[in-house]
Structure 1
Amino acid sequence: MHPTTPSKIQVQAVKYDGSLHYDWEATWLQETDQYVLVYGQPGRKLKHHTRKQIFICDTPSLEYYDLQEGYTVNLDLEPDGERYYCNICLPAERTASGLRFVDLDLDLIRSTAGEWTVVDEDEFLAHQLTYHYPVDVVQGAERMLHRLQDKIKRQAFPFDGFLESWLVRLPHNSGANRLS
């Protein structure tokens, strides 16, 4: 699906067994054979099915979903700066209503102060047993984490200014809500 005008899509994160983990609505921005880029509007509802809670996301986000490699990148525009949240996952897939990815628990986060941290390693270890991750999935997730850290260090795509170049196009910068 390659919309010519911005459209709403549903983003779903699922666990390895296919159970819905969380989902939210976003606005399609761009798609290539490599990735899908979407905009998360302030005030969107994130339904966290695992915790049986709904969260309101007050800040906008630019969300990158790789269709070939096992990671996602959210650039969250917090009041005190830009925060990055990267999921290690299986490659994202297009669905009839939007996007879906299998969350493998490992996350790489950059604080608004610019510090990168790996989080949820304990969940990754626990869920290897709970969801019976095959050895190749475990090894692939660990390799993807290291590959992502290397991309960041080298400032390789999409950490080469690509995401930041989109910020001026987003409604929060223009005062107009062109993408709604």
Structure 2
Amino acid sequence: MGKLVLLIQAVKYDGSLHCDWETTLLAETDRYVLVYGQLGRSLVHHTRRQTFICETPSLEYYVLLDGYTVNLDLEPDGERYYCNICLPAERTAIGLRFVDLDLDLIRNKACEWTVVDEDEFLENQRVYQYPEDIIEGAERILHRLQDKIQRQAFPFDGFLTCWLDRLPQHSRANRLS
């Protein structure tokens, strides 16, 4: 049986396509979808009208019941986390779709967490006329995500890094050599 390819689509609040890229399904439950983004995949950034070639593979965790995503980018010199604050991801006929609410939480290779794109969040509140409940919800989700990270709660409890050993090209032995 072949690998199932899923198209990930990030859209803006008005439904316009923001970015899309292909991934491979690793696991799916009624709560989340876990995919693998291959090294060299194309990311079409519709907002910027550009296509990027991803220079690192990634594990991508999409929550179906909460408003965030977690990407673990597998860079040659370390792992970087990138979390989107969004509306809950939805399964589509060809993959997943989520509404990006601009706020992002990233962890660099030095393990320092930073909130980014707060200016974009403020600007898009005006551009897309976010309702007050969306603004407050995004801020609550950001704080809840920061709390999960601090407590090392799922999926920040080693769940994603355990999957690395299931990917032959990214086993710990290969990453340490």
What is the TM-score of this pair, normalised by structure 1? 0.93
Q: Distance in 2 between matches of 1:90 and 1:31?
A: 18
1:30-78 CA distance string (max 9 Å, x none): 0111100000000000000000000000111000000000000000001
Q: Distance in 1 between matches of 2:28 and 2:68?
A: 16
Is residue 60–residue 172 contact of structure 1 (8 Å, CA) maintained in 2?
no
Which residue of the partner structure matches residue 93 of structure 1?
Answer: 90
Which residue of the partner structure matches residue 61 of structure 2?
Answer: 64
Q: Distance in 2 between matches of 1:68 and 1:148?
A: 14
Q: Offset of 1:172 from its aligned partner?
A: 2.1
Cα 1:165–1:5 shift into 2, 3 Å? farther
Higher alpha-carbon deviation: 100-109 or 5-14:
5-14
1:98-130 CA distance string (max 9 Å, x none): 000000000000001110000000000000010
Which residue of the partner structure matches residue 9 of structure 1?
Answer: 6
Identity %: 75
Equivalences for residues 92-171 of structure 1 within 5 A:
92-171=89-168
Structure 2 alignment gaps of length 5 or more: 172-177
Computed over aligned residues only, the root mean square deviation of the Cα atoms, in angstroms, reads 1.0
Q: Which amino acid aligns with 1:77?
A: L
Q: Distance in 2 between matches of 1:59 and 1:173?
A: 11
Structure 1 alignment gaps of length 5 or more: 175-180
1:71-107 CA distance string (max 9 Å, x none): 0000000111000000000000000100000000000
Which residue of the partner structure matches residue 174 of structure 2?
Answer: none
Q: Offset of 1:5 from its aligned partner?
A: 5.6
Q: SS where residue 169 of structure 1 aligns?
A: coil
Q: Distance in 1 between matches of 2:129 and 2:58?
A: 32
Q: Which amino acid aligns with 1:170?
A: L
Q: Which amino acid aligns with 1:132?
A: Q
The list of structure 1 runs, each at least 4 consecutive aligned residues, that deviate by more than 4 angstroms after superposition, is none
Q: Which amino acid aligns with 2:148?
A: K
